[in-house]
Structure 1
Amino acid sequence: MQTRPDPAELQRARQARLVAIVLAGTMVVWMGAQWLGGQLGLEARYVFLFDLLAIAGFVWALVVTYQIWRGRQG
């Protein structure tokens, strides 16, 4: 007999999957923006904007990862 997975555990798994996608996507987009900025000779302020957006994505992922971890504690 197979038991049904806990809905809270399924939700945490979805959140973890989303965090992984955001982390990987942020890294790829950030690296592509850095390369493209160098190829196009963009000003440093535009390249810095890409850096800030990447940091925002990483901070979001960190916050959600912390929430997942806290959810498993209780």
Structure 2
Amino acid sequence: MSIASDNNLLWIPSDISDLLTVSVDGQADDSTVKGMEIINSAATQWVSGTIDDYTYFELLDHYGIDPFGFVGEVEEHMTLLMR
């Protein structure tokens, strides 16, 4: 993820879990698309407190995403917003 900036404005989504969504290529197979759906649903659940950190991070890891790196980028974005 890279945070794009125009006119020195940072993008702020209406739903903070949007910062944690993932996407797949249009040619992705069904299992990859299902994994994307699971990860994106889990992001919403994690932000709302429905699932805990351990469960969310384990899920990311299961699908090959480095949880600390992925969430760390979102944390950096939030730090910029709070300045």
Give the TM-score normalised by structure 2: 0.38
Q: Which has the larger Rg?
A: 1
Give the TM-score normalised by structure 1: 0.42
Higher strand proportion, which one? 2
| Structure with larger RCO (C-alpha < 8 A, sep 6+) | 1
